[in-house]
């Protein structure tokens, strides 16, 4: 792509989404100093409907549809997402062009009054918008009350500070990126609290026919994170992963060996099934499918 070309990044307008888009802008600006890079802020349907759980209103795609329309219409060249918010099946005509190096993938326990989950008394109210987190809470802390919590990061923290909840569970990565790591009372052990597929990683989406934009983004792609989230997303996709399904997956790579752990179920009288698999990192997709097969059986 010629250096004089303008690049427009579509983004949601929450504080975290803007931080993520700005982060990609800064990275690209350093690589292509002659190129003008602009942000196009948009409000998505997922940002507008805050009174109902995500699982009831259509799932994660509600956070990216308007950004995809902007790319289709040529108003934007790419969009930056928290990868855990990207549907497991990319819409036709779109592709993930780059996955950036992962931030901390853990869930975070956030509370003004308690330092860890085990300190919460019976009946304490914990807020989360995630069926995955709800399933883990109900399996390990049946004495706690779980209530739906929607809204951007500041809104959720505001509801906690107003006393509506005794504690809330959030992705650690978002808090760290916004300089709010001091709000984390405790990081939740990812061995027990398997994160959402892709949690902690940023994904850059483009129109699949924009080969020039894909090439431009190559320096941003982190191959190790890319393989890990490929395995996690393949596992989730094979099990019909969506906001309507309690599901977690996390992969790591040591010495070219990828270890993938995953679980599904745990709500509405469905037993929680979990397992793990290891193999060559180059077989990331296949490992995800094999673990899904194992749990399905």
Reduce the secondary structure of the chain to three states and give it as a string. Answer: CCCCCCEEEEEECCHHHHHHHHHHHHHHHHHCCCCCEEEEEECCHHHHCCCCCHHHHCCHHHHCHHHHHHHHCCCCCEEEEEHHHCCCCCCCCEEEEEECCCCCCCEEEECCCCCCHHHCCCCCEEEECCHHHHHHHHHHCCCCEEEECCCCHHHHHHHHHCCCCCEEEEEHHHHHHCCCHHHCCEECCCCCCCCCCCCCCEEEEEECCCHHHHHHHHHHCCHHHHHHHHHHHHHHHHCCCCCCCCEEEEEEEECCEEEEEEEECCCCCCCCEEEEEEEEHHHHHHHHHHHHHHHHC
Catalytically annotated residues: 85
């Amino acid at each position: 792509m010629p250096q004089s070309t303008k690049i427009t990044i579509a983004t949601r307008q929450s504080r975290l989404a803007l931080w993520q888009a700005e982060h990609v802008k800064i990275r690209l600006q350093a690589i292509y100093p002659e190129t003008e890079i602009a942000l196009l802020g948009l409000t998505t349907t997922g940002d507008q409907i805050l009174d109902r759980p995500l699982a009831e209103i259509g799932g994660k795609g509600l956070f990216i549809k308007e950004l995809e329309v902007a790319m289709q219409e040529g108003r934007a060249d790419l969009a930056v997402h928290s990868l855990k918010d990207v549907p497991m099946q990319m819409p036709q005509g779109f592709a993930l062009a780059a996955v950036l190096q992962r931030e901390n993938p853990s869930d975070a326990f956030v509370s003004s009054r308690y330092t860890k989950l085990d300190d919460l008394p019976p009946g304490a109210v914990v807020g989360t918008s995630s069926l995955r987190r709800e399933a883990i809470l109900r399996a390990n802390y049946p004495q706690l009350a779980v209530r739906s919590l929607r809204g951007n990061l500041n809104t959720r923290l505001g509801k906690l500070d107003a006393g509506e909840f005794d504690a809330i569970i959030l992705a650690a990565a978002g808090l760290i990126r916004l300089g709010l790591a001091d709000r984390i009372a405790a990081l939740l052990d990812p061995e027990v609290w398997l994160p959402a597929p892709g949690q902690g990683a940023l994904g850059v989406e483009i129109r699949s026919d924009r080969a020039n934009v894909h090439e431009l983004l190559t320096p941003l792609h982190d191959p190790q994170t890319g393989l890990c989230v490929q395995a996690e997303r393949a596992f989730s996709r094979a099990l019909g992963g969506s906001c309507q399904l309690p599901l977690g997956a996390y992969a790591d790579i040591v010495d070219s060996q990828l270890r993938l752990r995953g679980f599904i179920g745990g709500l509405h009288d469905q037993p929680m099934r979990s397992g793990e698999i290891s193999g060559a990192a180059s077989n990331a997709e296949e490992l995800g499918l094999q673990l899904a097969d194992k749990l399905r059986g």
